[in-house]
A and B are shown apart, each in its own frame.
Chain A
Amino acid sequence: MTPTRDQKFWMYEKMVISRYLEESIEKIYLEGKKPIFNMANGPIPGEMHLSNGQEPCAVGVCAHLKPSDVVTSTHRPHHVAVAKGVDLKKMVAEIFGKRTGLSGGRGGHMHIFDPSVNFACSGIIGQGMGPAVGAALSRKMQGKDGVAVAYIGEGAVNQGAFHEALNLAAVWKLPFITIIEDNAWGISVAKAQSTAVPDNSVRAQAYGMPGYQVRNNDTYEIFRVAGEAIERARNGGGPSLIEIETSRLAGHFMGDAEGYRPKGELQALRARDPIPAMRARLMAEEGLSEADDAMLVASYRAIVDEAVAFARNSEDPAGEEALQHVFA
């Protein structure tokens, strides 16, 4: 399964939007936090987990999904949200904690919920698994179209929730796929230090489901493997597990000094940045010119700039709005 021309350009667009969003957030996040870094200050307070480098995991999978399909994501959710079609203006406003945000500022960047495209998050490691399995169960029981995809990091595979949910999805043969974004680091702990097997796709065997490993953050290969798994799930073939070797080009969170990274690792990862690689493919395969690319990138960036302006210009919620929406 190879992407069509339209799919290639769609993936490129979402990758560029996602990266430029993160770069924009990175700049804005530091406003008010210099010279002394205090997480509580600035227009975007709180923890910030950026997804730079992990865009292929988002677009290669979401290229096969419809708005009606369900995705649960992690504490590092922006790239997946962009690819799933979450309303960008409302999402950025939520990241700023504004009244116009997806939840009016009650959730923040780790709690992005957009039911119009069936997107949800949990900031707790591995805990998006159960809800995605439940959504898959709901679709099966209702006889409704749709698959559910749970994104987790490679650090989450050692959580009980991961194993329980895989067993449940398999024993009920649900339209469920888990995507393990292996960025090699669980905050500061390397995969080899925390995980008994180098390749988590082997864990799929324990639950009688197909397991795949995609190496080198390869957008096309992710697209191919995810396409197979999603098609099988849509056709009643049950769940799959896909581990993707990806790269975290930023710290675990903004402010992370990353002293744990071996020297030269980041430079090596940046040299394999998936976005220039995707651009090169479009140039080689689809005749994208430098001039057209510049135009496209400018138009993608304008979308992000508009969302950021919307967020900046939105009002803060009044303090007492915190008391609303505890119950449905």
Chain B
Amino acid sequence: MTAQAAAPANERRLTIARAMAESIAQEMRTDPSVFVMGEDIGQLGGVFGNTRGLIEEFGSERIRDTPISETAFMGAAVGAASDGMRLVVELMFVDFFGVCFDAIYNSMAKNVYFSGGNVKVPVVLMTSTGGGYSDGGQHSQCLYGTFAHLPGMKVVVPSNAYDAKGLMTSSIRDDSPVIYMFHKGLQGMGWLGTEPGATVHVPEEAYAIPFGKAAVVRKGTDVTIVSVGMGVHQGLKAAEKLAAEGVQAEVIDLRTLVPLDRDTVFDSVAKTGRLIVIDEDYKSYGLSGEIIATIAERDISVLKASPQRVAYPDIPIPFARSMEQYALPNADKIVSAFRNMKRTRTWRWL
């Protein structure tokens, strides 16, 4: 990956959890209006570790444990943010959105618009996504498409610690609501199992990664693989396998879904002529369809074969390991998708 490739001699490898906490701490040191609110984000340091160490430095006023009252504290986040504060508020699992979606979607996401831009709502809603560890259908979803579909919220999905820190910095500095979706399987919490590729070199100083800039994390000429979060790592593994067969896959990490870097995706597909989208979120009406539509709308003639998607089937997430693993995207499914693509009739745009 680009971030890893740039790692200097004094390499400083951090997990996504630590990178997020580091960015939050740096912003809190320079901006007294920033504070964190959520369930178990204080003494526990967040169920997924992304506020670890913060209460020791900043105290319980600014690292504020809440009651289990998402409706109230999401609403409170809107009110505090409109009153001059900057919030990082944690929704422990994205699956819990149902108990606070009015505050998120009818207020947080719309008040800027409803006020004609006169009200700012600088809230970072950080929330865990993803499964693969048999947590069942209310603790394993991604729901990228749900949030990205609805206007008024920016949507960030880091795949590695370098991006996680820079994207968090940009999120906190943004005056609009940002939904920051981190994947549990990338988080670096031992008890969840972790994708090693997510733990990379992270510079100590604060830096910001702009929204709407996808990263080409592996260069290739034969097929474009597009994803976010965990899907990027699966894409990279598939690219290794394909390379063994002499196929050069280009892998794109979108990094933010809103805004979406359609240009980078289009330019890559214009070069390779082939597109596979990986999405751990449900297949229908989501990210995979949006990416394919982007190409089809702009210039369908760049495609040498029908695009493929490796996405979660349209089923609730099952508990049993055999069933969950069957449903999840993985590198082998991506390789198969490429083979399917080769079998599809090559057609010419007239």
Contact = CB atoms under 8 A, between A and B. Distances in A.
Interface of A: 70, 72, 101-104, 106-107, 111, 113-115, 118, 120, 122-124, 127, 129-139, 141-142, 148, 160-161, 164-165, 167-168, 171, 324-328
Contacts of A137: 76, 79-80
Contacts, number: 156
A130 B73 CA distance: 7
Given A111-B114, A130-B76, A131-B79, A171 B107 contact: no
Interface in B61-90: 61-62, 66-67, 69, 71-85
Contacts of B10: none
Contact of B72 (A118, A120, A161): A161
A113 B114 contact: yes
A134 B71 contact: no
B210 interface: no
A324 B117 contact: yes
B115 interface: yes
A133 B56 CA distance: 26
Contacts of B81: 134
A103 B110 CA distance: 12
B83 to A, nearest CB: 4
Contact of A107 (B69, B116, B122): B116
B151 to A, nearest CB: 6
Given A164-B67, A327-B176, A328-B174, 13 more contacts: A103-B118, A113-B111, A115-B115, A115-B118, A115-B119, A124-B107, A127-B103, A131-B79, A131-B103, A160-B99, A168-B72, A168-B76, A324-B117
A135 B79 contact: yes
A27 to B, nearest CB: 26
Contacts of B35: 141
Contacts of B175: 327-328
A137 B84 CA distance: 11
B188 interface: no
A103 B79 contact: no
Interface residues of B, number: 46
B85 A131 contact: no
Contacts of B67: 164, 167-168, 171
A122 B73 contact: no
A106 B113 contact: yes
B120 interface: yes
Interface in B88-137: 99, 102-103, 106-107, 110-122
Contacts of B114: 103, 106-107, 111, 113
A107 B174 CA distance: 23
Given A129-B75, A133-B79, A326-B152, A138 B113 contact: no
Contacts of A70: 79, 83
8 contacts: A120-B111, A120-B115, A127-B106, A130-B76, A164-B72, A165-B76, A328-B117, A328-B174
A115 B82 CA distance: 9
A113 B118 contact: yes
B184 interface: no
Given A133-B76, A325-B117, A124 B106 contact: yes
Contacts of A72: 79
Contacts of A164: 67, 69, 71-72
